[in-house]
Structure 1
Amino acid sequence: MTDDDTTSARGGLKPGKRPTINDVARIAAVSKKTVSRVINQSPFVREETRVRVNQVIEELGFTPDAQARGLAFRRSFLVGLIYDNPSPNYVVNMQQGVLDALRGSGLELVVHPCVRSSETLVADIRAFVERQKLFGVILPPSMSEDERVIEVLRELDCPYVRIASVSLDEAGSMLVTNDHLGAAEAGRHLADLGHSRIGFISGPALFRSSAVRGGGFREGLAEKGITLDDRYVAVGAYTFESGVEAAKTLLALDPPPTAIFTGNDEMALGVFKVARDMGLEIPRDLSVVGYDDLPMASRVWPNLTSVRLPIRDMGRMAAEKLLAPMRGLDPAKLNQPEVRPSLVVRDSATTL
C-alpha cells in the first residue's frame, strides 16, 4: 500500500489519531453495526461488503476494542443449545456431540430448556440471547421448527443452526435428519416379520418429526401391501409416561396389535412396562420397535430393536456448521456426511 493510498483510506483522520469503528464505518460507507458484524465474522454480511470493510480496517490499522466487539450479542464465546424436548437421553446425547465440536475452540456450551407452548417463549429467548451475548445457537427439534424463534435470532444477528427432520432453511443453517427413511425401514421390517395388525404411537403434534416419522412408517408398510389402520394409532408425547398410556389404549383393542412401532425409545419402554404388567412376553406375544436408538435400547431386556438416529453426531455436525465462518469456511459447503437413520435389529421384534 502506497503513502497516497494510506492518506486516501484514512479519510482525513488527524495524524496520530487512533481510528475508531465510526471511522471504519464512514470510510467504508456502511453502518457501525455492519462493521461490528464483519469484525465478529457474522455470516449475514455480503461478501463484497465484508471485503470492503476488511480492506478499510487493514488500511487504517484499526484494532477492535472490547466495546466494538461487544456490539455483537454473540461475542461472549458461548454457544446456546435451546431446546424443548421431553427426552432427557436425547438432550444429553445432543450436548455431548456439541461439546465434541467445541473442544479446543475456546467456546463453551450453555443450555436453555424452555417450553415451546409458553406465551412468553419468544421474549424469553430474546432475553437469553441478549443476556448471554451468544456466539451462536443450536436448535434441536421442535424448537428448530418455530419460525418466531428464527425471526428473533435473525433480528439479533445471532447465527444459528437448525436440526430438523426436513429442510426448513438455507443449507448453511440446516442439518436435516431424514426421519422418514428410518421410519419406513421400521415399517418394512415389521411387515417382513409377518405382522399386519400393527400399532403406532406417534409423538406430539407440535413436533414435525411426529408427522414425518408417521408418514415414513405408513410408506414402508404400503411398500409391503399393508395399510396402517387408524384405530391402531395413538398419540404420545415422546415421554415414558405417554408411552404407557398409549400402550394401554392399543393393547385394550379387540383384537390387539401384534406389533407396535413407537416414535421414540422413551415411549417404547412405556410399551415394555404395560406388556409386562399385562403378562405379555416381548417378543413372543408382542413385537416392539422404537426410534432414536438411545443407549437404553441395548440395556433393557429384551434389547430393543430401534431406528438409530446418530444424535451425538448430529450435535457435533450442527456445532461444526456454527463454527465454520469463524474458521474461514462456508457452512453450506462443509464436507459432512448425510444424516441417514438405520434400523438396528435386536431382540424385541420377531416373526409372527
Structure 2
Amino acid sequence: MSTIYDVGRRAGVSRSTVSRVLNGKNDVDPKTAAAVWQAVRELNYHPNASARALVRQKTDMIGVMLAHVSDPFYEKIIKGIESVAAARNMGVVFYNSDDDLQNHKLLIASVLESNKVDGVIVVGSYLGDKKTILEIINRGFPIAMIERYFTDSKVPCIVTDNRQGAVLAVEHLIRLGHRRIGCITGNLLYQTAIERLEGYKATLGNHQFAIEEELIAIGGFHYEKGYEGMKQLLSLNQRPTAVFACNDMMAFGAILAINEFGLSVPRDIAVVGYDDITFAAMFYPQLTTVRQPLFEMGSLAAQSLIDRIELGEDADIIKKILPVELVVRKSCGAVVDNADKDWNETRTVVHL
C-alpha cells in the first residue's frame, strides 16, 4: 500500500507539500499540485485514517467542496453559505477540485484526515463519488449536499427541480412556435445533467415530437462545451431553430458559435439557458434562462450543516427540493415587457 512518502518521492516534493495539496491549501504552485495529484492517481494513494488524532478538536470552520472556484455559478451559493456561517460565528474553507473528478473524490476523503473543519458542504451532483460520500456518512462526519439528493436520513440535501426547469424552458420554446429544438447537455456523469435531459425529452414526447438524437449535443457545463456543442448542431443539414443549453455558461458559448456562423440570436436561432447567474442579464442578447434560487440553496445547506455540528443527532435534517422559474429576456425572441428599461427590470417570470 502506498504512503504519503511514496507520493512525495513520485512527485519530487516533500511530505508536507503533499499534505498541503491533499488538504486543499492554495499556497502550492499549480504545477507542483498537478504533479502531486498525478502521483496520487498513479499510486492509487488514499489517506490513512489511523493517522487522525484520537480526540477531534472543534475548529469552528466548515469546508465547501467546489468543482471550480472561479465558476460564476457558485457566486450566489457561496454568498448564501458565507452569510449563514458569519451569523453563526463559523469560518469557511474552500476546497477546489479544479474540475478533475478523481481530485474531487480524493479531496472529499482528505477532509476526514485534515482535522481542519467540523463539517463539509459538497456542491455538485457527480454520481461517481457515492462510495466516498457513504464512507463519510458512516463515520458520522457532518456533511450536507447541494445539487445532490441522498436518501440517507442523516444527510441534509438541497436540490432544485431540474426536470421541471427543463420543462419550463422547452415548453416556452414550443409556445413560441419552435418545433426543431436542440439540447446541449451537461456532463452526463452528473445527476443535474441527466434530470435536465430527461425533462427536455419528456416535454418533446408530451407534444408528440420525435426525439432526434442528432439534436442532442453532449456538453459539460462549461463555456467551451456550449461552443463545441452548438457547432455540432450547426453542422446538421437541418439546423435547430431553437436550443436549450443546460446551463448559462454553455448558452453563452452557444451564442458565440451562432454569431461566428453568421447567424443571429434570436432572429435565426433562439437560445434558453439554465441557472440565471449574474451575467445572464448583462450578456448580449440578455439571456432567457431558468432561475435557480442559488443564494437560498447555499444558506439552507449551511444552516443545516452547522445545526448538525452543534446539536448532533438532535438537529433537524433539511431536505428540500426547491422550485425554479423561467426568466424571459431577449435571447428567446419573445416580446419582453419594459424592454427599454434598465437590465434588472427587463424580465418577466413564467411558471407552469
TM-score (norm 1): 0.73
1:192 corresponds to: 175
2:54 aligned with 1:78, yes or no? Answer: no
1:233 has 2:216 as partner: yes
Larger mean CA deviation between 219-228 and 257-266 belongs to 219-228
Report the counterpart of residue 274 of structure 1 in structure 2. Answer: 257
Q: Is 1:245–2:228 an aligned residue pair? A: yes
Aligned equivalents of 1:175, 1:288: Cα separation in 2? 28
Query: CA 1:99/1:109 → structure 2, altered by over 3 Å: closer, same or farther?
Result: same
SS in 1 for 2:298: helix
**Per the alignment, do residues 301 and 123 of structure 1 end up closer, same or farther by CA in structure 2, a change over 3 Å counting?**
closer
| TM-score, with length taken from structure 2 | 0.73
Q: Does 1:218 align with 2:193?
A: no
Unpaired segments of 5 or more residues in structure 1? 1-69
Distance in 1 (alpha carbons) for counterparts of 2:57 and 2:250: 37
Offset of 1:155 from its aligned partner?
4.7
* 1:1-352 matches, cutoff 5 A: 73=56, 75-85=58-68, 88-114=71-97, 118-119=101-102, 121-143=104-126, 146-164=129-147, 166-170=149-153, 172-325=155-308, 328=311, 330-332=315-317, 338-350=321-333
For the Cα contact (< 8 Å) 1:202–1:233, is it kept in 2?
yes
**Deviation (angstroms), 1:176:** 2.6
Relative to structure 1, the CA distance from residue 229 to residue 73 in structure 2 (aligned partners, 3 Å threshold; closer, same or farther) is farther
Q: 1:158 to 1:327 in 2, by over 3 A?
A: closer
Structure 2 residues not aligned, in runs of 5+:
1-52, 335-352
The alignment yields a C-alpha RMSD, in angstroms, of 2.5
Task: Give the Å deviation of 1:106.
Answer: 1.6
Task: Figure out how many residues of one structure are paired with residues of the other and give that number.
Answer: 281
Residues 303 and 73 of structure 1: is their aligned pair in 2 closer, same or farther, counting only changes over 3 Å? farther
| Higher mean C-alpha deviation, range 82-91 or range 269-278 | 82-91
Conservation of the 8 A alpha-carbon contact between 1:82 and 1:111:
yes
Deviation, 1:119, is 4.6
Instruction: Find the structure with the greater CA-based Rg.
Output: 1
Worse-matched range after superposition: 285-294 or 317-326: 317-326
How far apart are 1:225 and its partner, in Å? Answer: 2.9
**Identical-residue share of aligned pairs (%):** 29
